[in-house]
Structure 1
Amino acid sequence: MSASDLRHWLRLCLIPGIGPERQRELLATFGLPERIFAAGQFSLAQVIGEKLATALRTHDNSALVETALAWANEPGNAILTLGDAAYPQALLQIADPPSLLYAKGRVELLQQPAIAMVGARAATPQGEANAEAFAEAFAAANLTVISGLALGVDAAAHRGALKAAGSTIAVIGTGADRIYPARNAALARRIAENGLVISEFPLGTPPTPYNFPRRNRIISGLARGVLVVEAAVDSGSLITARTAIEQGRDVFAIPGSIHSPQARGCHRLIKQGAKLVESAQDVLEELDWAHNAHIAPVVSQASADAEELGLLGQMGFDPVDPDTLGTRAGLTPDALFAILTTLELDGRIARLAGGRFQRIT
């Protein structure tokens, strides 16, 4: 696309009040943005009303347009429009595709088969471990892993894909020149270097509550299916799952402890028809992608002594407090905490809020 054509697209999409739905109405009526701006006031008003028609003809956003063009000319950056051949075909199948995508990294990944992974920001250690392991397996099977760069499950999914030297796409709810949350800045740089960061929001857009549910339709829309790793019943991940169903995508969920609030959203999805999965292979088979998988066998943990194995057996996989665990195992507090410390340092258990512990598979 020429700079002149892109300039017209940016000019249209950066007019306040003319959102994606109005943009699509104009494009459907007049064709490319250049023809929209050539249309008369009366014709425009018939589609979007007098007030917006006046704004379209008179609003000056040239400074924003030039800033976006300069950003797109930087190495690794691109702005894709609905009229681009590089625009992801999967998004053309959804009801409300974004008119523009600001992209940083490997835009060719937008055409590759993908799986989306979402889940709790305040994930449990087991949830993050699951997300990273599943993503690593998907990447090894040549599926691109898509998530939202949030803390918790999202970040773990991106890390898992990168760990397998696979591809990953982060769909963010800010402008592509801003990173949120700041704690994931280093991860975002790794994704931009090895995968792709995309946003539909104009440069400089700050994180606002409205943006994140909206970007979820892109996460699900780009993917063949959505895996929910952990989610409370009021989690935004359930919005992504609902959007995926509306878009005709498969929805998968990992079950968890009946005592964990972070598992209840997944359990609700399973009751509503989401596919219960216990391994990455389950997802690959449902997607008929297992023949492409090259998943390394699980490597056993180093052998532990009898006391540690015995305590892990007594612990089970639900969170447990030290008093209950000590009673189960018949250990004194000193002996119990000596073993717990070793297991925590080895990464086989995690310390949770309230002084409880949980085994990590």
Structure 2
Amino acid sequence: MSHAKEQLLGWVRLVLTPGIGPVIGRKLVRAAGDIERLWRLSDTRLRSVAGIGPVLLAAMRRSSAEEARHRLDAWERSGLIVLSPDDERYPVRLAALDDAPLILFATGYPSVLNGPKMLAMVGSRKASRESRLLTYRWARYFCRQDVTIVSGMAAGVDWAAHSGALQEGTTVAVLGFGLQSEVSEEQQRMIKRIREHGCVISECLPEQAARPEHFPRRNRIIAGISDGVVVMAADRRSGALITAQQAANYGREVMAVPGNVLGRSHEGCHRLIREGALLVENPGQCMQNMGWQTAGRPVKQAYLPGNEQERQVLLALSQGPLAMDALSETCGLTIPELSSILLALELQGVVERLPGSRYLLNVELKDS
């Protein structure tokens, strides 16, 4: 058996030991010097490690190297990639943290876990269509700048981030359940798409189903693997705020997109901004905040209005999505006049119709 395999077996054995989590596990390995020496330490030396009492000591002595070998062989036969901190493919940004996972399970291309520019895009599962659309567009833009998008493959913002990234580049999904647990057909399809162009990882044992306590742990991985986090839309109870807090604790850049102060969908974003997160209104600002140079196509095409009525309509929409009634009142146009203008603009891709007869501007306006 190779030395690398022996090291990996040591990490798997540690993960399978009841009561040993990432923080204590890493303390043990540091005390021993490496994972192989750990399993040769005396009881006296193990008891000297902070957090190791009689219960954990007994659990370690009961742990089975043979069981670890059996489980690892089964995982690898099924096609899973098992990464330990001794593996050069293990995320470097994550490895430096005291609470980093002892092992990660992966499918896809682990090399993307150490991309030069890693940005997490997170937010509410119940984000509005506008926020999901904005996330999708920003993710496409970031990938055109060679940024790898990291998110949690949940509904809402996460899903939009992965979907946008897959149109242009690379994405990493961090799951709150095992890679071999039962998931919906839609999740299966997304995992397949991501692993073909990026990587899907999880700290959970492969057969573990999703549980509420898994998601804060998942969120710390999203924060730890990334250079920065942008919260696209989050109410005051959103789990994205946990990711943002973890990112701040790890010294990562935290950014947030503001929203309508009359609604609740961005209350969490506004709180983050009050507490020091950087307010961002476009993806170029995110790139600037991260110190990353931009290249490639702009996020929106420029459009020169064909007449004064078009200009009035587009100027009104430049302030945000509006319903047809509000546009009619703002621009002083009748509904029939406005409908004709909006239809022509929609056919050109200049505006997009949203639910509730609201319209969203898709372009940057040219002055002349």
Q: Indicate conservation of the 8 Å contact 1:170/1:191, yes or no.
A: yes
Q: Which residue of 1 aligns with 2:119?
A: 115
Q: Deviations over 1:173-225 (max 9, x none)?
A: 11122365653321111001110001111111111111111111111111111
Q: Give % identity.
A: 35
- Indicate the residue corresponding to 1:22 in structure 2: 24
Q: What is the alpha-carbon distance in structure 2 between the residues aligned to residue 92 and residue 182 of structure 1?
A: 33
Q: Which residue of 2 aligns with 1:275?
A: 278
Q: Deviations over 1:258-285 (max 9, x none)?
A: 2231122111211222111121111111
CA distance in 2, matches of 1:42, 1:87: 32
- Give ranges in structure 2 of 5+ residues lacking alignment: 363-368
Corresponding residue to 2:12 among 10, 21, 31: 10
Q: Contact conserved, 2:13 with 2:63, CA < 8 A, in 1?
A: no
CA contact (8 A) 2:141 2:299 kept: no
Residue identity in the other structure for 2:239: G
Counterpart code for 1:12: L
Q: 1:143 to 1:15 in 2, by over 3 A?
A: same
Cα pair distance change 1:38/1:229, threshold 3 Å:
same
Change (3 A) 1:63 1:318: same
Could you say if the C-alpha distance between residues 169 and 204 of structure 1 is closer, same or farther in structure 2, counting changes exceeding 3 Å? same
Q: 1:304 to 1:237 in 2, by over 3 A?
A: farther
RMSD (Å) for aligned C-alpha atoms = 3.2
SS of structure 1 residue aligned to 2:266: helix
Partner letter of residue 187 of structure 2? N
Pick one of 100, 104, 119 that aligns with 1:101: 104
Q: CA deviation at 1:40?
A: 3.4
The one-letter code sitting in structure 2 at the alignment partner of 1:253 is: A
Partners of 1:297 and 1:356 lie apart in 2 by 25
Tell me the TM-score normalised to structure 1 length: 0.85
Moved more, 97-106 or 293-302: 293-302
Cα distance between partner residues in 2 of 1:206 and 1:360? 41
Alpha-carbon separation, structure 1, partners of 2:212 and 2:278: 29
Matching residue of 1:128: 132
**Letter of the 1:203 counterpart:** P
Q: Is the 8 A contact 2:317 2:361 kept in 1?
A: no
**Match in the other structure for 2:38:** 36
1:149 equivalent in alignment to 2:153 = yes
- Structure 2 counterpart of 1:213, from 192, 213, 216: 216
Structure 1 unaligned spans of 5+: none
Q: List per-residue Cα deviations over 1:277-315 (Å, max 9, x = no partner).
A: 121111111212125x32345235898999998777777
Offset at residue 60 of structure 1 (A):
4.6
Partner of 2:142: 138
Change (3 A) 1:307 1:348: farther
- The residue number in structure 1 matching 2:206 is 203
Q: Which residue matches 1:158?
A: 162
Question: Which whole-Å CA distance do the structure 1 matches of 2:60 and 2:112 have between them?
Answer: 34
Change in 2 beyond 3 A, CA 1:304/1:57: farther
Q: TM-score, normalised by structure 2?
A: 0.83
| Residue among 253, 264, 274 paired with 2:267 | 264
2:16, 2:63 within 8 Å by CA — same for their partners in 1? no
CA contact 1:126–1:360 (8 Å) conserved in 2: no
Contact 1:80/1:103 (CA < 8 Å) preserved in 2? Answer: yes
Contact 2:320-2:361 within 8 A present in 1 as well? no
Residues 166-177 of structure 1 mapped to structure 2, 5 A cutoff: 166-177=169-180
Matched letter for residue 148 of structure 1: G
Give the counterpart letter for 1:118 in structure 2.
V
In structure 2, C-alpha distance between the alignment counterparts of 1:294 and 1:322, rounded to whole Å: 35
